[in-house]
Amino acid sequence: MQDLQEWPHPPVTAHRRPADERESRRANGADWDRYADEYQATHGDFLGDVGFLWGPEGLTEAEAGILGPLDGKDVLEVGSGAGQCSRWIRSAGGRAIGLDLSYRQLQHSRRIDEQSGVPVPSVLGTATDLPFADGSFDIVFSSFGALQFVADIERAVAETARVLRPGGRYAFSITHPTRWMFPDDPGEEGLTATQSYWDRTPYVEVDDATGTTSYVEHHRTLGDWVAVLAGAGFRLTTLLEPEWPEGHERLWGGWSGVRGRLTPGTAIFGADLAG
């Protein structure tokens, strides 16, 4: 859920070119450190300190129930940001832990822990190398966390399978793969397809002043996601494409009522690990 037009950042040039896991991680960790303050200031109220949203449409886990029963469950949130979702899970009786690539996002998580009185134990780390023993969790999830910033998605999903117990639940939301075809513009411009759905070449921003890669985003088709989940031993049970709610006029980067009333902006997958 990037929204580059909403925050001051150094001038960058956008490219479409390969970017491996190392380059993606280095760029995106630094990007989220730079962006975290603005992100939390802009979206914190909408997210809620103790609140679980699956995306800009505002669908909550209380409404969707994708994770299943939470009471007494060991839960890992990958790409936890300021921990809002995990805090909601803790308030529902789950033992949620957060993991995020950005130190600054985790500082916001700690700040909200203290303000809300609902602390979420959190670690700095990456989705492709989870610092947990095999079979540690009943549920792993990401709400727009990590996955579209990761190059080696097979490894990230295999890591999830490794830390889940047999029969464990996995769910995640991402930008709906069909959005890749359109400019990331919340207005009418964002309704005309300008690139191929099947072109997986990453979107890469390079800092004009330093020449360093400052942001990378990766795209997979719906079929790619089914294949990577099946390949790691998951059985897909759920694919939600939340409709844009009547009267919801909040802008979030490229997400808007103008586009949301016509095309899906978010895809939420739910899958069970083989028992």
Ligand X SMILES: C[S@@+](CC[C@H](N)C(=O)[O-])C[C@H]1O[C@@H](n2cnc3c(N)ncnc32)[C@H](O)[C@@H]1O
By beta-carbon proximity to ligand X, the closer residue of 23 and 189 is 23
Binding site for ligand X (CB under 6 A): 1, 25, 28, 32, 47, 78-79, 81, 85, 100-102, 105, 126-127, 143-146, 149-150
Rounded to the nearest 5 percent, the helix, strand and coil shares of the chain are 35, 25, 40
Tell me the closest approach of the beta carbon of residue 12 to ligand X, in angstroms: 17
Tell me the closest approach of the beta carbon of residue 254 to ligand X, in angstroms: 13
Tell me the closest approach of the beta carbon of residue 75 to ligand X, in angstroms: 13
By beta-carbon proximity to ligand X, the closer residue of 125 and 257 is 125
Position with the least CB separation from ligand X: 81
- Secondary structure of 57-84 in the HEC alphabet? CCCEHHHHCCCCCCCCCEEEEECCCCCH
By beta-carbon proximity to ligand X, the closer residue of 102 and 213 is 102
CB 19 within 8 A of CB 86: no
Residue with tokens 């979107």: 203
By beta-carbon proximity to ligand X, the closer residue of 235 and 250 is 250
By beta-carbon proximity to ligand X, the closer residue of 55 and 190 is 55
Query: What is the helix (H) or strand (E) element at residue 222, kind and residue range?
Result: helix 222-231
Distant-in-sequence, close-in-space partners of 225: CB < 8 Å, separation ≥ 6: 177, 267, 269
Tell me the closest approach of the beta carbon of residue 55 to ligand X, in angstroms: 8
Tell me the closest approach of the beta carbon of residue 33 to ligand X, in angstroms: 8
Tell me the closest approach of the beta carbon of residue 185 to ligand X, in angstroms: 19
88-93 contacts at long range (C-beta below 8 A, 24 or more positions apart): 88/48, 88/50, 88/51, 88/52, 88/61, 89/52, 89/61, 90/118, 90/119, 90/120, 91/50, 91/118
By beta-carbon proximity to ligand X, the closer residue of 149 and 269 is 149
